[in-house]
Amino acid sequence: MKLITAIIKPFKQDDVREALSEIGIAGVTATEVKGFGRQKGHTELYRGAEYVVDFLPKVKLEIAVSEDVLEQAIAAIVKSANTGKIGDGKIFVTALEQVIRIRTGETGNEAI
Amino acid sequence: MMHIFQQKKGLTLCLLLLMPSIAMAEELNQANTAWILTSTALVLFMTLPGLSLFYAGLVRSKNVLSILMQCFAITCLISIMWMAGMYSLIFTDGGSVHAFIGGLSKVFIPNMGTSNLVGDIPETVYFMFQMTFAIITPALIVGAFAERMKFSAMMAFSAIWALVVYVPVCHWVWGGGWLATMGALDFAGGIVIHITAGVSALVVALVIGNRRGFPTTAMPPHNMPMVVTGAGMLWVGWFGFNAGSALTADGSAGMAMLVTHISAAAGSLTWMMIEWIKFGKPSVLGIVTGMVAGLGTITPASGFVGPVGALAIGITAGVVCFYAVQLVKRRFSIDDSLDVFPVHGVGGIIGSILTGVFAAESMGGLGLSMSMLEQVGVQTLAVIVTIVWSAGLSYVILKAVDSVIGLRVSEDEEVQGLDIILHEETGYHNL
């Protein structure tokens, strides 16, 4: 099992969710986060006072998947979250030791 | 009758000169009464919730409730003080010292029956209408000490300030005091409200000191939609403020409403254009700040000038107040946090002086009882006296309150935010 952590542009959240649903992925956790990468920040101006905003709003999606759908899921995220511009985000894949469904106590792939 | 006439002299003194017939009205005029009842609601609506939301959106989220609380508490405090003595000290006969202060005959408004008239409206309505102006004035100052003042110190300062700054100046101009006798024109509160509050705001900012981290740390508005909502309410409420100050439901009220609206629109567009040219983008905060500048600046002139004068005043307000903000906050790094002085103080000053110019018939105004030069002289004198009085006494009050209560919360408390520290509440909850 793997945990996919995808940092994407906030307005792409619905597109990614749809793309994942289409390949049968049933669970996603989304968090509003802030960060910066190559896109850097931007400036805001209030009554002439300039503020540099270093951290830009992003959405972090966490998806637990079984090994056999991993590549499919990554491809779906890359395709649906891509705008071709700097700031589209990143995908991290980490090993996932265990998954437990709280209601039934099922574990492993059964619980995903 | 003489007694009642004395009170009415307040706000309408100048109108009386223009239209003496109104002064003689003794019977209740229901149309006028209906309009002033409406205007009273509109002016209170400017403070609650107009100004409250406008200011609350401009601060950081950890201080949103402190601003709303301050405006609400000031409203309640001034209302009781108004009944207790402010109304009497402004609008009753002060006898031998009437040039400087009114009397005590209406302390706790005894005998305030339903049939008392001031001019041709019930005294109850007149009392309430004037009260709403006294409420918004100290509430305006809140913007200068936002995000760092102790609530107790704020209450003490506001109460004493209302008594020693607002009451005398209001009496001098609207209560038949010496400035009114000299012929100073202030239709709806350029001198009485915007200069007193604006100048005092600058003094407060200097005495209490900058917010921790100003000007290096970013302190952007936490909720711009709230700011714009409050600004829209202020514009609407200002119709009661200026057109209500005619105390009649007639053409003069209509003209006051018209010039108020034109000046607001002109101030908004002017500020927006300056930002667009200077910074590359027309900002939302810019257009609404220009609106407040246009409204504050037309206030003293609103019953005396014509539409073209209003256009000129609105444009002037947009330009001058914009550069005043840059000067105070950027150049001198004075943390008048929500720009009360550059918008209200500077707007009140230029509006009060320009009233002497654009009220003249040759400038499309409704006419002056003296030459334009003399009127500008009287206006300038009134402005200077009000600046000195407001600044000097504000300084003394602040020093006194500081020595007894202390003005500021501690650095640690300031970082945590006034909402949780002073009120044990937070504006927003996550889960």
Pick from A45, A47, A52: CB nearest B339:
A47
Upper half-sphere CA count for residue B179 (Cβ side, 13 Å)? 27
Q: What is the mean pLDDT of residues B307-318?
A: 98
**Residues from chain A contacting residue B218 (CB–CB below 8 Å):** 44, 51-53
| Average pLDDT, integer, range B10-29 | 53
pLDDT tens digit string along B207-256?
999 999 998 888 999 999 999 999 999 999 999 999 999 999 999 999 99
SS3 A63: strand
Q: Determine the longest span between alpha carbons in chain A, in angstroms.
A: 58
- C-beta atoms of B220 and A52 within 8 A: no
Q: Read off the pLDDT band of A37 (50, 70, 90).
A: confident
Cross-chain residue pair B215–A48, CB shorter than 8 Å:
no
Angle, vertex CA B153, rays to CA B155 and CA B296, nearest 5: 60
pLDDT digits (tens, 9 = 90+) for B53-105: 999 999 999 999 999 999 999 999 999 999 999 999 999 999 999 999 999 99
Give A88's contacts (C-beta < 8 A, 6+ positions apart). A8, A9, A12, A81, A82
B244 and B36 in contact (C-beta within 8 Å)? yes
Encode pLDDT of B36-50 as tens digits: 999 999 999 999 999
pLDDT(B430) > 50? yes
Check CB contact under 8 Å for B286 and A53. no
pLDDT for B431: 54
How far is it, in rounded angstroms, from Cα B25 to Cα B120? Answer: 6
pLDDT at residue B11, rounded to an integer: 44
Burial environment of residue A39 by CB neighbours within 10 A (0 to 12, 13 to 18, 19 or more): middle
Q: Which of B252, B255, B238 lies closest to B344 in space, CA to CA?
A: B238
The interface predicted TM-score of the complex, written ipTM, equals 0.72
pLDDT of residue B132: 98
Which residues have C-beta within 8 Å of that of residue B135, sequence separation ≥ 6?
B44, B47, B74, B75, B78, B79, B82
| Closest CA in chain A for residue B214 | A49
- Average pLDDT of the residues in B119-125: 97
Of the candidates B122, B130, B114, the one whose C-alpha atom is nearest the C-alpha of residue B25 is: B122
Please tell me the distance from the alpha carbon of residue B142 to that of residue B154, in angstroms, as a whole number.
8
For residue A39, is pLDDT > 80?
no
Mark which residues 30-59 of A lie under 8 Å from B by CB.
44-49, 51-53
Beta-bridge partners for A94: A3
Amino acid identity of residue B395, one-letter, is Y
CA distances from B82 to B4, B77, B121, B163, B279 (A): 18, 9, 19, 9, 45
Mean pLDDT in residue range A74-94: 95
Mean pLDDT of B378-392: 98
Cα B94 from chain centre: 25
Residue A41 φ/ψ region, left for φ over 0, alpha for ψ in the -120 to 50 degree band, beta for the rest? beta
pTM here is 0.87
In terms of Cβ atoms closer than 10 Å to its own Cβ (0-12, 13-18, 19+), residue A44 is middle
Burial class of B111 by CB neighbour count within 10 A (0 to 12, 13 to 18, 19+): exposed
Closest chain B CA to residue A47: B286
Residue of B nearest to A49 (CA): B330
pLDDT averaged over chain A?
93
User: What average pLDDT score do residues B307-327 get?
Assistant: 97
